[in-house]
Structure 1
Amino acid sequence: MLEQLLPAISGIGSSTPVQGDTSVRSRVAVAETSDDFGNMLARMASDTFDTLKAAEATSVAGITDKASVQQVVESVMAAEQSLQTALAVRDKVVSAYLEISRMTI
Structure 2
Amino acid sequence: MISGIGNIPRLSSTGTEPLLPAVTTAPADGDAFSAMVSELATNTVSRLTKAENLSLEALQGDADTRAVVDAVMDAEQSLQAAIAIRDKIVSAYLEISRMAI
Q: TM-score, normalised by structure 1?
A: 0.67
Shift of residue 36 of structure 1?
1.1
Which segments of structure 1 move beyond 2 Å, counting only runs of 4 or more? Answer: none
Identity, % of aligned pairs?
48
Matching of residue 76 in structure 1 with residue 72 in structure 2? yes
Aligned residue identity for 2:80: Q
> What is the distance in 2 between the residues matched to 1:96 and 1:59?
37
Q: What residue is the counterpart of 1:53 in the other structure? A: 49
Larger Rg: 1
Q: Choose between structure 1 and 2: higher helix proportion.
A: 1
Aligned residues: 75
Q: What residue is the counterpart of 1:94 in the other structure? A: 90
Extract unaligned runs of 5+ from structure 1.
1-29
Q: Which has the higher contact order (CA 8 A, sep 6+)?
A: 2
Matches within 5 A, 1:12-23: none
Over the residues paired in the alignment, what is the CA RMSD in angstroms? 1.6
Shift of residue 41 of structure 1?
0.2
Aligned residue identity for 1:42: S
Q: TM-score, normalised by structure 2?
A: 0.70
